[in-house]
Amino acid sequence: MWSGPPQPDQGLPPPLAAVPVPWKSTDPCQSHREFPGALVETSAGEEAQGQEGPAAAQLDVLRLRSSSMEIREKGSEFLKEELHRAQKELKLKDEECERLSKVREQLEQELEELTASLFEEAHKMVREANMKQAASEKQLKEARGKIDMLQAEVTALKTLVITSTPASPNRELHPQLLSPTKAGPRKGHSRHKSTSSTLCPAVCPAAGHTLTPDREGKEVDTVLFAEFQAWRESPTLDKTCPFLERVYREDVGPCLDFTMQELSVLVRAAVEDNTLTIEPVASQTLPAVKVAEVDCSSTNTCALSGLTRTCRHRIRLGDSKSHYYISPSSRARITAVCNFFTYIRYIQQGLVRQDAEPMFWEIMRLRKEMSLAKLGFFPQEA
The per-residue pLDDT for range 46-89, each reduced to its tens digit, is: 555 555 677 878 888 888 888 888 888 888 889 999 999 999 99
CA distance 218 to 225: 13
Question: Which helix (H) or strand (E) is 139 found in, with range?
Answer: helix 36-162
How many other CB atoms are found less than 10 A from the CB of residue 312? 14
Helices (H), 180-306: 222-233, 242-247, 253-255, 261-273
How much of the chain is helix, strand and coil, in % rounded to 5?
60, 5, 35
The ranges assigned to domains in the chain are 71-137, 222-282+298-375
Question: Which helix (H) or strand (E) is 291 found in, with range?
Answer: strand 290-291
**Ranges 2-6, 113-117, 234-238, 371-375: which has the least confidence:** 2-6
- pLDDT tens, residue by residue, 33-50: 444 444 445 555 555 555
Residue 351 CB partners (closer than 8 Å, separation 6+): 157, 160, 161
Taking the CA atoms of the chain, what radius of gyration do you get in angstroms?
65
What pLDDT is attached to residue 215? Answer: 61
Q: Who wins on pLDDT, 97 or 169?
A: 97
What pLDDT is attached to residue 194? Answer: 32
The one-letter amino acid code at 154 reads V
Over 80: is that where the pLDDT of 183 sits?
Answer: no
Backbone angles phi, psi at 326, to 5 degrees: -130, 155
Q: Provide the whole-model pTM.
A: 0.46
Residue 194 CB partners (closer than 8 Å, separation 6+): 201, 210, 212
CA distance 280 to 288: 17
What pLDDT is attached to residue 34? Answer: 46
Task: Spell out a b/e string for 186-208, using b for 16 or more CB atoms within 10 Å of the CB, else e.
Answer: eeebbbeeeeeeeeeeeebeebe
Compute the mean pLDDT over every residue in the chain, rounded to the nearest whole number: 75
Q: How many CA atoms lie within 13 A of 197 on its CB side?
A: 17
Helix (H, G, I), strand (E, B) or coil at 321: coil
Percent of the chain with pLDDT over 70: 65
